[in-house]
């Protein structure tokens, strides 16, 4: 553990996962102030919004924190495919008194080739930057490391981990199939061995040259202790932090997590165009009737999914919202982040 703790400047082996749409500067700062590594996710933010988020986080903590970016391949535009998907969803939109959008926007940016974002990061120098959906360009990684920024990136198998090491990652997040939210696969169309957190963490800890952070289904100190016993330097928890008052999860999401619905999560591309684990809901029910291979690319499908969720919510139906959650969701707690971190550490010591 000391290696990773020193690398990241943290006291506890706990990383609060970056969660686009859910994590906030207040959540990240509370976790960092409590001795873990808090994270903000800026996948949907432009350069100026990212600058504001960094400064807001810095105003709340003097401790290291992590800023997360997406490195997905830009979507292939396929007007026929996009029109077919919107046509499929049209009856759902109409049932909420709305129409599908005329065109699908790229609602999440990729960091690959985003020189303006790189320039901002070099200027603001967040202590840690993490990447999802594949490696950053080597030159960008080199420039960030030269500026003293530590780099993390998610892998779901050994090949991805090796590619991330080669790209300059200082530590690898081993994201098991249990994990909530988007699977960090580099190529969503490649065969997926769906490795679980236990097998993947051990494999990467045994084969990688850099420290490993275990992620997926870890909800308490016993889970963190298990990850450390497998050779991880820390555990990254997402779902465990969704219920914190500092997160921006809405009331329906919190209620679903607190209900028996938390026992049922599904991995689906339906909502965004990439595989992601979500609480089973009215949206995920559509999966049975849809060939996921026919969806528009991420994040174009996500634009449709977000529009449908918004139309549904306006009509009082929350069952089309993306309620990302991992398989440990029934163990979710609803504590202030500082209290949750203290409880996690206490449980870990007792385990």
Contact status: 28 vs ligand FMN (CB under 6 A): no
Closest contact distance (angstroms) between CB of 95 and ligand FMN is 26
- Nearer to ligand FMN by C-beta: 181 or 296? 181
Q: ω into residue 299 within 30 of 0, thus cis?
A: yes
Closest contact distance (angstroms) between CB of 235 and ligand FMN is 8
Under a CB-based contact definition with an 8 Å cutoff, are residues 35 and 12 in contact?
Answer: yes
Single out the segment in contact with ligand FMN by CB under 6 A; choices: 120-128, 171-179, 303-311, 331-339.
Answer: 171-179
Among 4, 7, 16, 18, binds ligand FMN (CB under 6 A): 18
Contact status: 296 vs ligand FMN (CB under 6 A): no
E strand or H helix at 278, and its extent? strand 276-279
SS (HEC) of 54-86: HHHHHHHCCCCEEEEEECCCCCCCCHHHHHHHH
Q: Binders of ligand FMN: how many residues, by CB under 6 A?
A: 30
Mention every residue, 6+ apart, whose C-beta is less than 8 A from residue 297: 75, 76, 78, 273
Closest contact distance (angstroms) between CB of 346 and ligand FMN is 19
> Backbone dihedral region of 125: left (phi > 0), alpha (psi from -120 to 50 degrees) or beta?
left
Among 156, 236, 268, 281, binds ligand FMN (CB under 6 A): 236
Among 181, 243, 273, 305, binds ligand FMN (CB under 6 A): 181
Contact status: 20 vs ligand FMN (CB under 6 A): yes
Interaction with ligand FMN in 199-228: which residues (CB under 6 A)? 215-218
Among 32, 66, 110, 154, binds ligand FMN (CB under 6 A): 154
Closest contact distance (angstroms) between CB of 289 and ligand FMN is 25
Single out the segment in contact with ligand FMN by CB under 6 A; choices: 14-22, 29-37, 140-148, 160-168.
Answer: 14-22
Mention every residue, 6+ apart, whose C-beta is less than 8 A from residue 92: 286, 308, 312, 320
Annotate 73-90 with b (16+ C-beta within 10 A) or e (fewer). Answer: eebeeeeebbeebbebbe
Q: List % helix, strand, coil for the chain (3-state, nearest 5).
A: 45, 15, 45
Contact status: 298 vs ligand FMN (CB under 6 A): no
End-to-end CA distance of the chain: 16
Contact status: 10 vs ligand FMN (CB under 6 A): no
Among 10, 19, 117, 311, binds ligand FMN (CB under 6 A): 19
- Nearer to ligand FMN by C-beta: 255 or 315? 255
- Nearer to ligand FMN by C-beta: 93 or 280? 280
> Backbone dihedral region of 20: left (phi > 0), alpha (psi from -120 to 50 degrees) or beta?
beta
* Distance (Å) of CA 171 to CA 11, 26, 257: 16, 25, 30
> From CA 152, how far away is CA 166, in angstroms rounded?
12
Q: Site residues (CB under 6 A) for ligand FMN?
A: 17-20, 22, 41, 43, 68, 132, 154, 175, 178-182, 215-218, 236-240, 242, 324-326, 328
């Amino acid at each position: 553990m000391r290696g990773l703790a020193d690398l990241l400047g943290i006291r506890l082996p706990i990383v609060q996962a970056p969660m686009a749409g859910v994590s906030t500067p207040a959540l990240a700062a509370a976790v960092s102030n409590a001795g873990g590594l808090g994270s903000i996710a800026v996948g949907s933010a432009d350069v100026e919004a990212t600058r504001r988020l960094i400064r807001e986080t810095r105003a709340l903590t003097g401790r290291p924190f992590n800023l997360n970016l997406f490195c997905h391949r830009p979507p292939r535009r396929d007007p026929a495919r996009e029109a077919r998907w919107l046509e499929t969803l049209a009856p759902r939109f109409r049932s909420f008194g709305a129409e599908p959008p005329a065109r699908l926007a790229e609602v999440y940016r990729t960091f690959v080739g985003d020189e303006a974002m790189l320039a901002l990061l070099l200027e603001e120098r967040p202590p840690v930057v993490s990447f999802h959906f594949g490696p950053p360009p080597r030159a960008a990684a080199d420039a960030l490391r030269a500026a003293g920024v530590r780099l993390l990136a998610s892998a779901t198998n050994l090949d991805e981990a090796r590619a991330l090491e080669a790209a300059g990652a200082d530590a690898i997040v081993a994201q098991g199939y249990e994990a909530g939210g988007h699977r960090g696969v580099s190529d969503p169309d490649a065969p997926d061995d769906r490795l679980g957190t236990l097998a993947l963490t051990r494999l990467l800890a045994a084969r990688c040259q850099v420290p490993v952070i275990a992620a997926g289904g870890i909800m308490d100190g016993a889970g963190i202790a298990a990850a450390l016993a497998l050779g991880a330097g820390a555990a990254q928890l997402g779902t465990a932090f969704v219920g914190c008052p500092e997160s921006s999860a809405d009331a329906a999401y919190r209620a679903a997590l607190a209900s028996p619905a938390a026992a049922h999560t599904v991995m689906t591309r339906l909502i965004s165009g990439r595989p992601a684990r979500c609480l089973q809901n009215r949206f995920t029910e559509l999966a049975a009737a849809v060939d996921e291979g026919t969806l528009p690319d991420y994040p174009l499908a996500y634009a449709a999914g977000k529009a449908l969720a918004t139309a549904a919510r306006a009509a009082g139906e929350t069952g089309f919202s993306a309620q990302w959650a991992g398989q440990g969701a029934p163990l979710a707690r609803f504590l202030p982040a500082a209290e949750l971190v203290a409880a996690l550490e206490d449980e870990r010591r007792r385990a």
